[in-house]
Amino acid sequence: MLARSSVRILSLALFVTLLSGCGGLQEVWEGPGARVFRPQTIAVLPPMASQYDSAREDIQDVLVGALNRQGNIERVVSPENVTDIFQASKEAFDSLVFYFSRLEMTGQSDKDSAVKLGKALNVDAFLVVRVNSWEYVRKEGDNVGRVGLSLRLIDAATGTTVWKARHERSDSYMFIKPSLKDIAKELASEMIKYMPPQTKK
């Protein structure tokens, strides 16, 4: 009886470890096709509206930088080009607004508007970003700079979610505040390592 419950607990612990990306990220989920998903082109959408809207440009920049450094994708669309596309095309902008509103309401990727976004951006995949934290706080008696992100990778051909993850990094300090953008760079690099296409064994 005891042995059986111990095996059950061990199995659950292993399952949670697998779900959390071998303990690397707070939350990570992979769709059925994630291991074989090989996009050649990707765009980072403007981060979804949140209380940390002042961080949106910095976050888009650091994610594009992390994707380029990872080297698994041939072309990463620059934030400037993404902005230009949404400013030049009302249809693309309307698709973005509709996509975000459906995602907020249902928690699901709306396939029709996702496919429209993929065509407008001319990419195989795009990354949906939410900034969960971008702040200086007191944590367990320490001064801390904290950045948290949720990422969702969408297959632009089908509109389906391939992968999603949530993670946070913090840096404690005494007098000189660390740069939140520098913390974000470390966080983005860490999260992108777990995102398809993966070169890791």
Q: Is residue 36 part of a domain?
A: yes
19 within domain boundaries: no
Domain count, the chain: 1
In a domain, 201, yes or no: no
List the alpha helices (DSSP H) in 73-179: 79-88, 90-106, 111-121
> Is the residue at 2 inside a domain?
no
Are 46 and 56 contacting, i.e. CB atoms less than 8 angstroms apart? yes
Residue 174 belongs to some domain of the structure: yes
Q: Is residue 12 a part of any domain in this protein?
A: no
pTM value is 0.86
CATH code, domain carrying 171: 3.40.50.10610
Residue 95 falls inside a structural domain: yes
Write out pLDDT tens, residues 78-100: 999 999 999 999 999 999 999 99
pLDDT at 156 over 80: yes
As to burial, measured by CB atoms within 10 angstroms (0-12 exposed, 13-18 middle, 19+ buried), residue 31 is: middle
What confidence tens digit (pLDDT) does each residue in 131-150 have? 999 999 998 889 999 999 99
Please tell me which residue, 190 or 11, carries the higher pLDDT value.
190
Residue 1 within any structural domain of the chain: no
Q: Which residue range forms the structural domain that includes residue 114?
A: 26-192
Name residue, tokens 């002042």: 54
For the cut 50, the answer to whether the pLDDT of residue 201 exceeds it is: no
- Whether the bond between 46 and the residue before it is cis, its omega within 30 degrees of 0, is no
How does residue 65 score in pLDDT terms, banded at 50, 70 and 90?
Answer: very high
